[in-house]
Structure 1
């Protein structure tokens, strides 16, 4: 198999964050993406990006370290920065700092919110296929999961959602709908009309909505992210946001929970020690990203858009049997590999025969069999080599 090393690409690399780090440099990293597999594997699985930090973020962190500012988090700077970002980015002035709370991260925030708005006897509705920790974290709380499979075009199927709400209500009096917006793994960005329909259905069936909006800043040029709490009828809803995905800050954990006006009392019941859980350096980094990292983010989004176009071309040339519907958000690609005849878990084949690590489709729940998730947040060279290896793996597996 050919090697990948170097910085040449088919798009300008001077300002593209995805073209600033060589493969040799990436292999010096010790995070999960670059630690789990052997050096001959191209890792395109876990949601880490192959980028350097935005300069304002790196400066904020190093300045804090140089002055020994590594204590416990405090204050509302993160929420204030998020509110300012929401106005500038989404034309939404609905974040009231008084109705926010810092969380250690988005998934821990979801668990804490579930504990105050429902009980272990209640059910949680999710749209599958979906981010695997939705299953892991919810089931760990003892709650039952009710699936509402996505419909045509990888969008919310409202008939399926209404039926899931009915089933959830039979398990307990306080059902919850855990919305993924934008959706992971498909990259679907929900419209204002779709979210308004969600709110109306939830109100009709007595379901509380909690929206995971961690990928909100990662919406491509030309698409529009709509915060769930910005649409009518969401007063008792909650949302969680974080700068971690958009600025590659997963190792600097912090998130913000946002309550609608009618949910403020629920948010206030989350124990205060939970709000001491975020990393102080994380809060500093996330705040800097939201306030000063937008130019870097815009360059990243342009690079991701180019990688989406590149992936479409690469699949057409090397793996025409793979169906890929590019999403408008996230840096994830959901690949339908069923026509290749590689079984329920094509990721296992791509790893064994191609030395490319992707996410296993079945782990995303119903609808995931025969699929795999690919992380686009890498250089064009790595993406190109990965698809070539995947094509070789598919040929090898079918000839055995």
Structure 2
């Protein structure tokens, strides 16, 4: 499988379009959680306008009063076409898909299909905090298989964990984050093939959260888990929400591998009642007609990724940061700054910059913070300036 590189779109960089004054008029979580003097670089919302094809589609639905219940397979067809063009993958079969309210609720439904009460679900910390919250709320046991020091899947640790959690013929699942949040790691075909082989050996079912799949930067390429040898028994959750900033227009797709189709047919019919019809229309328009906008965004994110690395090297050289190859999130190792287990707290208190605390990401999260770089270059520059000043002020307080 070869990656089809995105073309130069000719569209303006969406990250340079909106002013802070305009962004502060938004009423979503990112802009209403903190006071106006705080730069919000935490929750996964982007500082971008919507792609025009999405605006036209949603506006047209409003004008028509097309706000009823969802129907049809247009969303799945659009995702399948996107996968063929973007990832050179033609294995996304529309008949092996189901609409779910969003990715995490889809994860819950997939775990219900392949595990039971009290069964273990393996995760790779540091990892997206809702993995812990939703799994525990489902009355499953979270089992950690931490990433290696290189922020990649440690296959030896993963095998040891699979062996331990399946002792006594227990059922188990592996909740794979691909690409990985918060590190931005893009798993390779070889790594995913090895994961599939381990899962088969120990009878572990793989559920892949692939919500960040369209957000792969530079020369890296996304490999769908269901496309690798042995991935046929896997289940995947995909959505346009992260790449096109559509979290408020809920819709996602569950996708089954060729040998997992029967699992998907057991999902209750009422689960498909949860997604918004308007959300499905928006996601379909994004995948079908929003790729030029996406390409401009990816170029802007790649530029911001390099900018952040330069700014940290200049202003906060003690912060260890390995730029990720995907997502718009940066994982900052702040342990050398002496700010304690939760460096996001002094950055907020002393610098008025809101980052996400690393603690809820599980093992490996202490002393870290996650930064959302889907903002204008000017905001990133100001944020790092404030963070550097916060370190000085915090040091003064300790003195």
1:349 and 2:346 equivalent?
A: yes
Partner in structure 2 of residue 287 of structure 1: 284
Gaps of 5+ in 1: 1-12
Partner in structure 2 of residue 27 of structure 1: 24
Matches within 5 A, 1:312-331: 312-331=309-328
Partner in structure 1 of residue 132 of structure 2: 135
Deviations 1:45-97 (A, max 9, x none): 00000000000011100001100000111110000000000000000000111
TM-score by length of 1: 0.96
Partner of 1:224, secondary structure, is coil
CA offset at residue 119 of structure 1?
A: 0.3
1:185 and 2:182 equivalent?
A: yes
Matches within 5 A, 1:305-384: 305-384=302-381
364 and 172 in structure 1: CA distance in 2 versus 1, 3 angstrom threshold: farther
Partner in structure 2 of residue 3 of structure 1: none
Separation of aligned partners in 2, 1:52 and 1:71? 26
CA offset at residue 369 of structure 1?
A: 0.3
1:225 and 2:222 equivalent?
A: yes
Partner in structure 1 of residue 5 of structure 2: none
Separation of aligned partners in 2, 1:52 and 1:80? 25
CA offset at residue 171 of structure 1?
A: 7.6
Alpha carbons 1:121, 1:172 under 8 Å: kept: no
CA offset at residue 206 of structure 1?
A: 0.7
Matches within 5 A, 1:157-168: 157-168=154-165
Matches within 5 A, 1:113-132: 113-132=110-129
Partner in structure 1 of residue 258 of structure 2: 261
Separation of aligned partners in 2, 1:223 and 1:298? 14
Separation of aligned partners in 1, 2:257 and 2:183? 27
Matches within 5 A, 1:78-117: 78-117=75-114
Partner of 1:245, secondary structure, is helix
Aligned residues: 388
1:388 and 2:385 equivalent?
A: yes
Alpha carbons 2:11, 2:292 under 8 Å: kept: no
CA offset at residue 26 of structure 1?
A: 0.3
Partner of 1:261, secondary structure, is coil
Separation of aligned partners in 2, 1:171 and 1:292? 50
Alpha carbons 2:11, 2:293 under 8 Å: kept: no
TM-score by length of 2: 0.96
CA offset at residue 226 of structure 1?
A: 0.3
Partner of 1:298, secondary structure, is helix
Alpha carbons 1:200, 1:233 under 8 Å: kept: yes
Partner in structure 1 of residue 4 of structure 2: none
CA offset at residue 398 of structure 1?
A: 1.2
Separation of aligned partners in 2, 1:39 and 1:282? 29
Partner of 2:206, secondary structure, is strand
CA offset at residue 170 of structure 1?
A: 3.4
Gaps of 5+ in 2: 1-9
104 and 14 in structure 1: CA distance in 2 versus 1, 3 angstrom threshold: closer
CA offset at residue 193 of structure 1?
A: 0.2
CA offset at residue 116 of structure 1?
A: 1.2
Separation of aligned partners in 1, 2:358 and 2:123? 16
Partner in structure 1 of residue 7 of structure 2: none
Partner of 2:53, secondary structure, is helix
Partner in structure 2 of residue 201 of structure 1: 198
